[in-house]
Structure 1
Amino acid sequence: MSFLLAACAPATTQAPAPTDAPPATEAMPVTGSEPTATEAAMEDPLAMYAPDAVSGDIVTAGSSTVFPLSERMKQRFEEEGFSGNLTIDSIGSGAGLERFCVAGETDIANASRKIKDSEIESCAGIGRTVAEFQVGIDALTVVVSAENDFATDITLEELALAFSTATNWSDVRPEWPAEPIQRFSPGTDSGTFDFFVEAVMTPANGDEAEAGEAALLDAANLQLSEDDNVLVQGVQGSPYAIGYFGYAYYQENASSLKALSVNGVAPTEETAESGEYPISRPLFIYSSNEILQEKPQVSAFIYFYITNVADEILDVGYFPVSEEKSQENLDAWNAALDM
């Protein structure tokens, strides 16, 4: 639709008869005018999902690992013009998915593990069709204090031993000190805990997940916390401590921590992306088709997230997904909106 203005007609040489109606002025389109909002939306259907085009609340909760990445994307989203209220709670992947799939209290769940079939069923039970977006890759990092002068590498088998039945470091390797191991682990609501059990503890316990989890939880000198900063401080406090958490928390505290190689492979962008590093893992955000269709502000944030996260993720401390995975994210977003 174009703007219409009355054109100014030139004076005529012959005056009309007094009884004649004045000639109708012909409306002429004005060229070069600014497009209307309707025209802009027709030309660019994504314009309605721009950060400054939406408002309202967005409620997010879940993984402590994904938390710093989502915080960065929130900051960017607000800098680009979003003026609504966007909250992000760091409560662990399991608790976040429960709030999303059972209580139905949130719009987005952050997770450092893939959603379980049982959680998808819970979502369906409250009318939510899960939409999955992989936003990055993390190298789960095993750390000791910078004051630790004996450990630089550990195998997966030794790592399982260090987080279960070994009492002293010398029980893991004879040449290591006969000093008690102090263990720091994310809590059971954490996706980081779940992934560690899956990748490290389960294979060491006859491929039985319950046995692997029990072995870790029964270990002596074990402190659990959903707050990764508590784990960082615990490991910093002793040369005989060991812990694990997302690479971003190691990177942030690299001056006081030391990352161990696992099976001879150091955690880096290259080894995480290639899968060579044995405990790398995907990072996700989850929403639902119904939420994306009903709440344009949520659709806008997720679109902004998946199309801009590659510019921020290395600085946060994680690694970008492949171009193929980025396209899968866009396809999932379009499918959720029936676009």
Structure 2
Amino acid sequence: MLMTALFLSSCGDRSDQNAQNSGVEEVQEEVELEGAVTPETSPVIQPVTTPQQLPEGNVQLPEIDPLEVEGDISIAGSSTVFPISLAIYENFIQYGYAGKIKLDSIGSGAGFRLFCEEGESDISNASRPIKEEEVEACTAIGRQPIEFRIGTDALAIVVNPANEFITNVTKEELATIFTAEKWSDVNSDWPNEIIERFVPGEDSGTFDFFVEEVLDDNGQRLLNAPNTELSEDDNYIEQNVASNSNAIGFMGYAYYKQNANELKILSIEEIVPSPEVIENGDYIFSRPLLIYSDANVIRNKPQVGHFINFYLNNVNKIIEEVGYFPSSSQTLDASKNRLLEVME
């Protein structure tokens, strides 16, 4: 397993090592923050002096002073949700939290295994709803997963900017593109060139979402497709599509937005993802962004509940800057009510 590790200490030192992958690999990005630091890469929540005051919605969570929160927190899961959680907890530390938070980007499926089978994480990031068998695994170790929706993502289908023959595709064409050998196998007017595919790994909620929507939930069709590389590292997918004129891939919209100058996004059924079409449901590749925890974890480790409180109160302030789409006040209120029920 290749690992990209990022450690920030109280004095703000940062080290970053990026590894290259090929084939089917599990790539983990691990971040640990401790002490009070000033975040340099994530959006800062405003206003700084009163981070808990939100005008959104009707449900008010109790104010939490991060300076008074003690104890460590472990978070793992979706690479798609990772940058949102990263921005939230860097701000949590900026406001005074002095404990340690460990955040692992290992994919939704691996995150649920860590949360439900091993019971080692306090919060599970996910870009898809938890599956029935994962709930059963949680139940077997005495956990009942509680879902908190924190935003919406759009799946981006991307090609190399040098690709001039494709700008829009249908779902039916996508199914063929991600299983055929050559572009001309999809459309005889397209080049007689091999299709190079770069896609998220099987542990990714992004993989699950695409397979369900495009390939009738038959992941083997994509896994068995020629010239297909899988990786849990979205940066690896972006870099390979950006450097290969015959490549295609898919990723969360935030990763496309960060690299829009190096990638070309395709419209699907003549619709390009935007806040408007995501909100009204016209774009077919939109999906919920979620975090999960457990009532006993929240009660036995109050710092977890305090962090989720801070998360829900502030996520809509930073989520668009990260690259995703905010939840409606009604949806966010539902998540807040779930937390209040546990904290009573």
Q: Into which bin does the TM-score normalised by the smaller protein fall?
A: 0.7 to 0.9
Where does residue 79 of structure 1 map in the other structure? 94
Helix, strand or coil at the partner of 1:167:
coil
Where does residue 253 of structure 1 map in the other structure? 259
Q: Report Cα offsets for 1:174-198 as digits up to 9, x if no partner.
A: 2221111000110101110011111
CA RMSD of aligned residues (A): 1.2
In structure 2, C-alpha distance between the alignment counterparts of 1:170 and 1:135, rounded to whole Å: 41
Q: Report Cα offsets for 1:154-177 as digits up to 9, x if no partner.
A: 11111111111x221122222221
Alignment of structure 1 residues 57-76 onto 2, 5 Å: 57-76=72-91
Are the structure 2 counterparts of residues 45 and 283 from structure 1 closer, same or farther at C-alpha, using a change threshold of 3 Å?
A: closer
Q: Report Cα offsets for 1:239-258 as digits up to 9, x if no partner.
A: 11000010010001000101
| Residue identity matched to 2:105 | S
In structure 2, C-alpha distance between the alignment counterparts of 1:45 and 1:123, rounded to whole Å: 27
Poorly superposed stretches of 4+, deviation over 6 Å = none
Where does residue 34 of structure 1 map in the other structure? none
In structure 2, C-alpha distance between the alignment counterparts of 1:275 and 1:325, rounded to whole Å: 15
Q: Report Cα offsets for 1:83-102 as digits up to 9, x if no partner.
A: 11011100000000000000
Alignment of structure 1 residues 131-150 onto 2, 5 Å: 131-150=146-165
Task: Please say if 1:46 is aligned against 2:52.
Answer: no
* 1:291 alignment partner, one of 274, 286, 297: 297
In structure 1, C-alpha distance between the alignment counterparts of 2:204 and 2:178, rounded to whole Å: 16
Where does residue 215 of structure 1 map in the other structure? 221
Task: Please say if 1:162 is aligned against 2:177.
Answer: yes
Helix, strand or coil at the partner of 1:335:
helix
* 1:271 alignment partner, one of 277, 287, 308: 277
Helix, strand or coil at the partner of 1:106:
coil
Bigger fraction of residues in helix: 1
Q: Where in structure 1 are there 5+ consecutive unaligned residues?
A: 1-43, 203-208
Scaled by the length of structure 1, the TM-score of the pair is: 0.82
Alignment of structure 1 residues 89-168 onto 2, 5 Å: 89-164=104-179, 166-168=180-182
Helix, strand or coil at the partner of 1:59:
strand
Q: Report Cα offsets for 1:197-245 as digits up to 9, x if no partner.
A: 111111xxxxxx3xx2111111000000011111011101111100001
Q: Where in structure 2 are there 5+ consecutive unaligned residues?
A: 1-59
In structure 1, C-alpha distance between the alignment counterparts of 2:181 and 2:61, rounded to whole Å: 61
| Residue identity matched to 1:231 | I
CA contact (8 A) 2:61 2:313 kept: no
Larger radius of gyration: 1
* 1:319 alignment partner, one of 308, 318, 325: 325
Q: Report Cα offsets for 1:246-293 as digits up to 9, x if no partner.
A: 001000100010110011110111111221111110010000011111
CA contact (8 A) 1:99 1:106 kept: yes
| Residue identity matched to 1:106 | S
The percentage of aligned residue pairs carrying the same residue is: 49
CA contact (8 A) 2:143 2:294 kept: yes
Helix, strand or coil at the partner of 1:109:
strand
Where does residue 24 of structure 2 map in the other structure? none
CA contact (8 A) 1:131 1:336 kept: no
Paired residues, number: 285
Q: Report Cα offsets for 1:45-69 as digits up to 9, x if no partner.
A: 934x321220111000000111111
Where does residue 184 of structure 1 map in the other structure? 198
How many Å apart are 1:142 and its aligned residue?
A: 0.3
Q: Report Cα offsets for 1:122-174 as digits up to 9, x if no partner.
A: 1111111211101110000000011211211111111111111x221122222
CA contact (8 A) 1:137 1:318 kept: yes
In structure 2, C-alpha distance between the alignment counterparts of 1:226 and 1:232, rounded to whole Å: 12
Scaled by the length of structure 2, the TM-score of the pair is: 0.81
Helix, strand or coil at the partner of 2:90:
helix
In structure 1, C-alpha distance between the alignment counterparts of 2:289 and 2:106, rounded to whole Å: 15
Q: Report Cα offsets for 1:27-58 as digits up to 9, x if no partner.
A: xxxxxxxxxxxxxxxxx9934x3212201110
